[in-house]
């Protein structure tokens, strides 16, 4: 009887030991299975708090405030935080894009993904710029923000922040914006609303993913490149964005050239049409081309593409050397021209780059 009792005790203890051992191993595996994600904060509404003195929104002191309000993200990933800068995105400049890109490049081997919090006003510009600066990605680079500060009732910041980290664990290999219900390719995004929580839209291409009860990714997202990550942060900021309107003075080109701009993006009408009769801007385009200044024509329309062969006014612009922006957003077009001029000043090579799909920013069939 004693022997049987001892056998039961020994067996029970052995079972407990094995169970405890397996539990520890499982916990360690579960813990180590969480991806290591670098959180880069740059400011914006998502990190803003109320200033009682001015009764306005100002940037919070650090990213600790984000984690404090949304501790659930620590269940999704092991997070390292870097407060790169803390500004309203209206004040974002080229050097800020370069700082973000270089930080990701320098830390690329240390993390499985990157999440960037950013203000919404220039978020589409930053996402486009990073798409050209960080080529051949094999990891997610997710940008997000919010329409309302974290501390406010009904804020969209919590969901956007958490879902960005969940998206960072998925098979994404490009720069993307997660906002509301959509995951949008960085070079296809545009802010369309200052009111709605789904503030961004994917232009001329459906989103690469959607957010619901779970996150779904679509097949047209970019696949991991076999090439080594390439940092191309050399941008030429001397690019002017000109919006056409009836009665615009053609002399504007003289001023743009006089100010030292080395590239011009024109927001044309419709399919990229420009004035060619009264107040024609064709001489301005010709003058810019003679000074080796590339002219790229986009459209003021939200949807559709530029086709300079469709109407006579477009054909004339093309004869003077104008480059069509095809179906690119104006944000992507501007950033791409800055990127192209950062690589070369040779007009023929700039045209080649502008007609080449680099990061999913354009429909390659339109350029053929």
Q: Is residue 42 domain-shared with residue 65, that is, in the same domain?
A: yes
Once rounded to an integer, what is the mean pLDDT over residues 29-38? 73
Q: Is residue 207 domain-shared with residue 246, that is, in the same domain?
A: no
Which of 232, 295, 286, 218 has its CA nearest to residue 262?
295
Asked whether residue 166 is assigned to any structural domain, the reply reads yes
pLDDT interval class at 367 (50, 70, 90): confident
Once rounded to an integer, what is the mean pLDDT over residues 333-353? 97
- Percent of the chain exceeding pLDDT 70 equals 89
Which of 231, 190, 263 has its CA nearest to residue 99?
231
- Interval 164-218: pLDDT, tens: 999 999 999 999 999 999 999 999 999 999 999 999 999 999 999 999 999 999 9
Who wins on pLDDT, 345 or 24? 345
Any idea what the CATH number is for the domain that residue 111 is in?
3.40.50.1170
Residue ranges of E strands in 136-251: 141-144, 175-179, 182-185, 189-191, 200-202, 209-211, 215-217, 230-231, 239-243
How are beta strands 295-299 and 323-324 bridged, if at all?
parallel
Q: Is residue 91 domain-shared with residue 199, that is, in the same domain?
A: yes
Asked whether residue 8 is assigned to any structural domain, the reply reads no
For residue 183, what are the β-bridge partners?
178, 209
7 pLDDT higher than 80: no
Catalytic residues: 45, 120-121, 191, 311
Q: Is residue 312 domain-shared with residue 204, that is, in the same domain?
A: no
73 pLDDT higher than 50: yes
Residue 339: exposure state from Cβ atoms within 10 A (0-12, 13-18, ≥19): buried
Give me the helices (H) in 70-107, please: 73-76, 94-106
pLDDT interval class at 150 (50, 70, 90): confident
Q: Is residue 268 domain-shared with residue 220, that is, in the same domain?
A: no
pLDDT interval class at 61 (50, 70, 90): low
How confident is the model at residue 60, as a pLDDT?
66
Residue ranges of E strands in 281-326: 295-299, 323-324
CA–CA distance, 125 with 58 (Å, rounded to integer)? 22
Q: Is residue 226 domain-shared with residue 255, that is, in the same domain?
A: no
Which of 222, 242, 223 has its CA nearest to residue 337?
242
- Boundaries of domain holding 156: 36-231
Single residue among 231, 255, 284 that ends a domain in this structure: 231
As for how many domains the chain has, the answer is 2
Q: Give the side-chain half-sphere CA count within 13 A for 169.
A: 17
Asked whether residue 20 is assigned to any structural domain, the reply reads no
Asked whether residue 84 is assigned to any structural domain, the reply reads yes
Q: Please say whether the dihedral angle defined by the alpha carbons of residues 345, 349, 353 and 355, taken in this order, is positive or negative.
A: positive
For residue 268, what are the β-bridge partners?
299
CB within 8 A of 258, min separation 6: which ones?
none
Burial 38-49 (b: 16+ CB within 10 A, else e): bbbbbbbbbbbe
Asked whether residue 23 is assigned to any structural domain, the reply reads no
Q: Is residue 176 domain-shared with residue 71, that is, in the same domain?
A: yes
With contact defined as beta carbons under 8 Å apart, do 186 and 131 qualify?
yes
Cα 200 to chain center, whole Å?
Answer: 11
DSSP state at residue 204: S
With contact defined as beta carbons under 8 Å apart, do 128 and 145 qualify?
no
Q: Is residue 222 domain-shared with residue 252, that is, in the same domain?
A: no
* Angle between helix 123-133 and helix 330-343 axes, rounded to 10 deg: 40
282 pLDDT higher than 80: yes
Q: Is residue 198 domain-shared with residue 286, that is, in the same domain?
A: no
Q: Is residue 92 domain-shared with residue 215, that is, in the same domain?
A: yes
């Amino acid at each position: 009887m004693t022997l049987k009792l001892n056998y039961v005790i020994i067996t029970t203890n052995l079972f407990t030991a094995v169970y405890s051992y397996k539990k520890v191993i499982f916990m360690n595996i579960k813990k180590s299975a969480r991806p290591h994600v670098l959180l880069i904060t740059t400011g914006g509404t998502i990190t803003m708090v109320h200033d009682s003195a001015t009764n306005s929104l100002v940037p919070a002191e650090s990213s600790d405030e984000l984690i404090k309000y949304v501790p659930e993200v620590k269940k999704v990933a092991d997070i390292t935080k870097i407060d790169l800068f803390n500004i309203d995105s209206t004040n974002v400049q080229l050097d800020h894009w370069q700082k973000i890109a270089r930080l990701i490049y320098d830390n690329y081997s240390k993390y499985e993904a990157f999440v960037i919090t950013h203000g919404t006003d220039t978020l589409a510009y930053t996402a486009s710029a990073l798409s050209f600066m960080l080529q051949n990605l094999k990891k997610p680079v997710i940008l997000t923000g919010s329409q309302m500060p974290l501390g406010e009732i009904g804020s969209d910041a919590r969901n956007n922040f958490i879902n960005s980290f969940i998206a960072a664990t998925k098979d994404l290999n490009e720069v993307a914006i997660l906002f509301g219900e959509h995951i949008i390719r960085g070079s296809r995004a545009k802010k369309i609303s200052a009111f709605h929580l789904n503030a961004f839209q994917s232009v001329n291409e459906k989103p690469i993913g959607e957010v619901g009860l779970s996150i779904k990714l679509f097949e047209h997202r970019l696949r991991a490149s076999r090439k080594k990550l390439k940092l191309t942060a050399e941008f030429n900021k001397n690019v002017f964005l000109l919006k056409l309107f009836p009665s615009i003075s053609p002399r504007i080109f003289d001023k743009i050239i006089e100010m030292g701009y080395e590239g011009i993006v024109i927001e044309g009408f419709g399919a990229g049409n420009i004035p060619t009769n009264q107040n024609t801007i064709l001489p301005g385009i010709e003058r810019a081309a003679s000074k080796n200044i590339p002219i790229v024509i986009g459209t003021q329309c939200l949807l559709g593409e530029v086709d300079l062969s469709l109407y006579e006014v477009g054909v004339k612009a093309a004869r003077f050397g104008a480059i069509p922006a095809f179906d690119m957003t104006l944000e992507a077009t501007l950033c791409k021209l800055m990127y192209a001029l950062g690589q070369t000043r040779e007009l023929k090579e700039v045209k080649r780059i502008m007609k080449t799909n680099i990061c999913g920013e354009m429909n390659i069939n339109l350029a053929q």
